[in-house]
Structure 1
Amino acid sequence: MEFIRQYLLSKKIPLDEKQWTEFAKKNIRTEFKKKDAILKVGEVENYLSFVEKGTARLFFEKENKELTIRFVFDYQYLTAYDSFTQRTPSRCNVEALTDMVVWRVHYDDLQELYRTHTVGNLVGRLTVEALYVEKLNREFSFLSETAEERYLKLMKEQPELFKLIPLKHIASYMGITPQALSRIRKRIS
């Protein structure tokens, strides 16, 4: 879990040894295989996870189409956050796109950390801030950019997507059909 400690320190979270030990004890190392269902629609998300290695996606189905909400990579938080915080059934599925190693803290353990240590509150706040900024940027992109602009931006900001993820998932994430993505790729190349 040293990578999590380094991540927290990089975010200027002051960690004394006691707080780190208690936080680390609450985290469980879990492995998932490619295509594993980490969470299914209707289940309550019980874990706030931090990805050590691997890629996942959050998606839901509508009219027999899978619509991708988000991709998660190394050193990012992985959770159906609304289900996690509100203790409600998840509206999305979470699927491993590659073999994964994640560190997970259970909801109840995180609540205990919130009550007893500043590090718990800081981790919670950082998670919310990161997810909010990501969501806001995505909404802004959908409302102000064309599909081609979104594609070029994605190529620039997250080139690893195109190496790791099938184009049909990227298209659904962009809010377009695979055929439209293919046309954009042809125009640009």
Structure 2
Amino acid sequence: MEFVKQYLLSKNIPLNDNDWNEFSAKHTRTEYKKKDVILKVGEVENYLSVVEEGVARLFFERESKELTIRFVFKYQHLTAYDSFTQRTPSRCNVEALTDMVVWRVHYDNLQDLYRRHVVGNLIGRLTVEQLYVEKLNREFSFLSETAEERYLKLLKEQPNLFQLIPLKHIASYMGITPQALSRIRRRIS
């Protein structure tokens, strides 16, 4: 979990050795294989995870189509956050798109850290802020950019995405059909 420690220190979180030791002791290392289902619709999300290696997606099904909500990459938080915080059944599935290594903290352990440590609350706030900004950026993108602009932005921000993830998932994430994505790719190349 050294990458997490370095990230927190870079955000000026006042982390002493005792806080870090307790924080890291509450996390468990978990591995997933490509195509593993990490969470199913209807299950309550019990873990807040940080990805050390790999890629996952959050998606749901509507009218026999899978609609991708979010991709999660290295060093990002992996959770169905509404289910996790509200203790309600998840509205989405979480699937490993590649082999993955994640560090997870159980809801109860995280609540204990929040209660007993100021630094736990700071880390929690930082997590929520990061997830909120990602969500806001995605919403803004859908409302203000064309599909072609979203594609070019995705290509710039995540160039390896197209080697790691099937085009059908990328198309559903962009809110378009695989055929529309193919037309955009042909037009640009």
Equivalent residue for 2:118?
Answer: 118
Matched, 1:138 2:132: no
Aligned equivalents of 1:155, 1:181: Cα separation in 2 = 12
Query: Using the alignment, how far apart are the partners of 1:11 and 1:70 within structure 2?
Result: 24
Paired residue total: 189
Task: Output aligned runs, 1:1-189, within 5 Å.
Answer: 1-189=1-189
Q: How far apart in 2 are the matches of 1:12 and 1:41? A: 37
* 1:76, distance to aligned residue in structure 2 (A): 0.6
Residue 163 of structure 1, CA deviation: 1.5
Distance in 2, matches of 1:46 and 1:84, equals 6
Q: Which portions of structure 1, spanning 4 or more consecutive aligned residues, are displaced by more than 4 angstroms? A: none
CA RMSD of aligned residues (A): 0.6
Distance in 2 between residues matched to 1:50 and 1:118, nearest whole Å: 20
Structure 2: any 5+ residue segments left out of the alignment? none
Which residue identity does 1:8 align to in structure 2? L
Distance in 1 separating the partners of 2:173 and 2:64: 16
Q: For residues 45 and 119 of structure 1, what CA distance do their matches in structure 2 show?
A: 23
The alignment partner of 1:89 has SS state of: coil
The unaligned stretches of length 5 or more in structure 1 are: none
Cα distance between partner residues in 2 of 1:96 and 1:123: 25
The amino acid that maps onto 1:14 is P
Amino acid at match of 1:57: R
TM-score, normalised to structure 2, is: 0.99
Equivalent residue of 2:135, what SS?
A: helix
